[in-house]
Amino acid sequence: MTETPSLVGTWQLVSFMAPDGTGGLRPYWDDRAAGLIVYTPDGRVSAQVYDARRRRLGTPWERVSPAAAQTAFVGMASYYGRYRVDASRSTVTHVIEGAMSPDWIGTELVRGYRFLTRDRVELRVLTTADGQSAADSVLVWERVGA
Q: State how far the alpha carbon of 24 is from the alpha carbons of 41, 64, 146, in Å.
A: 35, 37, 33
| Per-residue model confidence (pLDDT) at position 1 | 54
pTM score over 0.95: no
Q: State how far the alpha carbon of 54 is from the alpha carbons of 11, 17, 67, 73, in Å.
A: 22, 18, 13, 10
CA distance 92 to 112: 6
| Per-residue model confidence (pLDDT) at position 146 | 58
| Per-residue model confidence (pLDDT) at position 3 | 73
Query: Which of 134, 87, 90 lies closest to 108 in space, CA to CA?
Result: 134
Q: Parse the chain into domains and list their residue ranges.
A: 9-145
Q: What is the dihedral of CA 91, 111, 48, 94, to 10 degrees?
A: -60
pLDDT tens across 91-127, in order?
A: 999 999 999 999 999 999 999 999 999 999 999 999 8
Sequence-distant (6+) residues with CB within 8 A of 55 are: 71
Cα 61 from chain centroid?
23
CATH of domain 9-145: 2.40.128.320
